[in-house]
Amino acid sequence: MQISTKKRNNISSILIFCGISVISTYLLLFVPISRQIGLIFRNTLYILPVVFLFPFISTLVRNTYIRAILFGFLFLIFLLPLSGLWNSGLSGQYSLGGVIPWSDAFTLHMNTLRFLYGQFMGQSTALRPISPVFYASILKLSDNNFILLSVVITILCSITVLSCTNLLGKKFGPVVAAFFYTNAFFYIRWHEGELMTELYGFFTGMLACYFLLSGILCKKNWEIIFGLSLFSLALNARPGPMFVLLFAGAWFLLVQLHGHKKRLLFSVAALIAILSGFIINRWNTSKVYMTSTVPNRQIAEIVYALCLGGHSWDYVLTMPEIQALNDSENVYGDLFRMCTKVLRENPENLLLAAKRITGALLFDNEKGAFSYFNGGDVIQNSIVRYGLGVLWFLGFLYMLKRKRLKIFSFLLYCAVGMILSQGLGLVITTNRLRFHAATIWIPGIIIGFFPQFLFSKIFHFRENETESSPSITDLSTGIAIIGYVLLLSSLISPFLLHRFPEQAPSSMMNPCKEGKELLTTKIDEGSYFYMEDSENLEKIHYPYFRLPYVRQHFHDTASVEMFDFTDHIDEPTAIIRGIDLDNWKDALIFAPLDIVKGKTGYVQFCGNYLNPPILRNDRFFIPTEAFFLGK
C-alpha cells in the first residue's frame, strides 16, 4: 500500500525531531561544554525573549521539516538547565554539587533506597509515595543509575510540555503556545536535576493538561476522564491546589455532560477517575509503609499556622501542641479542636491570614504568583511578575467573555479552583510555588489569551487557522502510552518492588582496624562527584568538578552549620551520598579521591563519623580505606 505524501512527511519530520533530540541529549548532558551556556538558561531572567521566541515561531510555521527542526530546538532548551548543572557542580537548595540530593530531596532519596532494598519508607515520604516509587522503578531497571533517572525525568518534562505547546498552538495560536512553553520552562528549570516530587507532579500534570484539553476540543469524554485520572495522580504525587481537581470534575458533570444521554455512566466513570489518584496513593503507602494510614503532620502544621494568623508551617514546627500530634490517634480531630480553640480566642486571625496570603501572592517576589520568573534584579523580577499578573487578569476577563465555549468555561472552572485553593496558604508555605507543580499549566494558558487576541486583531490571524497544519509533536498515541505507563506503574511497581527487593551483600568480615568504624554501602552512578584542583582536571563535567568552585557554592545550600567543615576541604575529595546497608541510616561520605576514583558498586569503608554530627539529618563519614566487593 502506497504511503500518502502527508504521512511520509510526518514520518520524516518525526525522525528529524528524534534525531535532534538524541544528538542534543548526548552533546548537552554527556559531553563537556562550557557551564555558562546551561547556567544562563538555569539562573537568569534575560533569556526570557529567546525562550518565548522559539515556541512562537515553531507553532507559527507550516513547513513540516522546519517545524520539526524548531521543535527539536525546543526540546534542546529544556536540557540546558541540567547541562549547566552537570558541567559546573553547582549546589542549590535541594542538591549538593549538582547531583547529591539535599534537604527535602535527601529524605526522598534515602527512603527510595530503603524501599529498593526491601525496607519501609519514613513517614514523610510514605505520605505521598507515588513519585519515589516511580523513581525506584527506573532505578531498579538501571542498577540504581541516578544520572539516567534525571535524564528520563527531564525528557518526560520536555516531551509533555512540547505536546501541550503544539496542541495550544493549533487551537489558539502561536502566542498562547509561546506563553505556555515559557511559563512551563521557567517553572521547571530550577528543579531539573533534583530528586523531588515536583518533577513527577509537573510532567504528569502536563499529561493531564494534554488529555483534558484534547478531549474537550475533540469531544471525546473518555479522553477527558483519562485526563482527570492523570490529574488526580499528579495532585496526589505532588499535592497542591486540590480544589482545581474538584472544580474540573464539577465542570465535567455540570457543563460537558449537560443533557448527555449517557450522563450517569460518564459521571460514575469521572468520579472513579477523580478518586483514582487517592486510591493509588493509599495503595502505594500500604506497600512502602507499615500501614496504609499515615498521619499527615505536614498538613497539620500548615493548617495550624493559618489558624494562628497566616504563618508559614515552620512557625509552628516546635510548638508542644504540634509535637503532641506525633502520638495522636486522631490527628485531624485534634487539629480541628486546636484551631477551633485558637480562632474562638482570636477571631481576627482569619482576617490576618487572608491579608498575609494576599500580600504574599501579589507582592512577594520569592513566594508570590509567577515568582519562578526570577534571575534578574528586584526591579526586573517585579516588572515581569506584575506584567504576567496583569495578563492573567486580562485572560480571566477574556475567558468570561467567551465562557459559552466549553474550553473556556473549563479553564474558568480551573482558575476559580486555583484562586480558592490559595486560601489554604500554599503560597506562604514554600518559595516559587512548589506546591503548584501539577497545576502550573493553568496560568500558563491563561496569560496568553489577551496577547493572542491583540496579535490576531493586528495581524488578522484567525483562531484555528493552523488546525490542519502538520506537527512534529502530534503524537497522541505516544503521549497516551506515557500516560498509561504512569498509571500502570503506580499500580504494579509497589507490589513488584516490594516482592523483589535489591539484595545487599550478605554479612562479611569486618576489615577495619581497631578504632575505625565500618560503613557498608553502595556507590551508585549519580550519587557522587569528584572535586580536584584545576591543574589535575582533564575535563570539567560530571563527575569531575573544580574543587574551589564547588566548595564555594556549597554555601548556596544555606546549610550554614557545615560551612566551617567544607570550607577546609583542600585535598582531592569524592563526596558520596549513600545508605548504611547494616542499619539503613544515611551517610554522606567525604573520601580521599584516590581510594574511590572511577569505582562504583558495593564497598566497605573504614573510617569514622564526625561526632558530634554537624547537621541533624546528615551523618558525615570520613573514610581512610575502601574495600570494594564483587556484585
Whether 524 and 491 share a structural domain: no
Q: Identify whether 320 is part of a domain.
A: no
Q: Identify whether 10 is part of a domain.
A: yes
Q: Is pLDDT above 80 for 154? A: yes
- The Cα angle at residue 163 between residues 165 and 361, in degrees rounded to 5: 50
The domain containing residue 539 runs over which residues?
517-628
Whether 561 and 466 share a structural domain: no
Rounded to whole angstroms, how far apart are CA atoms 376 and 59? Answer: 28
Rounded to whole angstroms, how far apart are CA atoms 468 and 395? Answer: 26
Q: Identify whether 590 is part of a domain.
A: yes
Whether 424 and 559 share a structural domain: no
Q: What is the pLDDT of residues 67-102, one digit of tens each?
A: 999 999 999 999 999 999 999 999 999 999 999 999
Q: Which residue is it, cell 560530571?
A: 542
Q: Identify whether 346 is part of a domain.
A: no
Beta carbons of 280 and 492 less than 8 angstroms apart = no
pLDDT score at 424: 84
Q: What is the pLDDT of residues 497-528, one digit of tens each?
A: 999 999 988 878 999 999 999 999 999 999 99
**Structural domains in the chain (count):** 2
Share of the chain above pLDDT 70, in %: 97
pLDDT score at 474: 47
Name the pLDDT band for 464 (thresholds 50, 70, 90).
low
Whether 582 and 469 share a structural domain: no
Share of the chain above pLDDT 90, in %: 79
Rounded to whole angstroms, how far apart are CA atoms 6 and 456? Answer: 28
pLDDT score at 3: 59
Whether 546 and 609 share a structural domain: yes
Whether 559 and 481 share a structural domain: no
Whether 78 and 186 share a structural domain: yes
Q: Identify whether 536 is part of a domain.
A: yes
Mean pLDDT, residues 552-567 taken together: 92
Whether 486 and 528 share a structural domain: no
Question: Of the residues 466, 496, 526, which one is the last residue of a structural domain?
Answer: 496
Whether 473 and 527 share a structural domain: no
Q: Identify whether 307 is part of a domain.
A: no
pLDDT score at 1: 44
Whether 470 and 546 share a structural domain: no
pLDDT score at 460: 79
Q: What is the pLDDT of residues 109-121, one digit of tens each?
A: 999 999 999 999 9
Whether 441 and 474 share a structural domain: yes
Question: Of the residues 442, 465, 496, which one is the last residue of a structural domain?
Answer: 496
Q: Identify whether 112 is part of a domain.
A: no
Name the pLDDT band for 322 (thresholds 50, 70, 90).
confident
Q: What is the mean pLDDT of the chain?
A: 92
CB-side neighbour CA atoms (13 Å) of 74: 34
Whether 266 and 204 share a structural domain: yes
pTM as predicted: 0.95
Question: Of the residues 496, 525, 546, which one is the last residue of a structural domain?
Answer: 496
**Main-chain phi, psi angles of 282, to 5 degrees:** -65, -40
Q: Identify whether 67 is part of a domain.
A: yes
Q: What is the pLDDT of residues 368-403, one digit of tens each?
A: 999 999 999 999 999 999 999 999 999 999 999 999
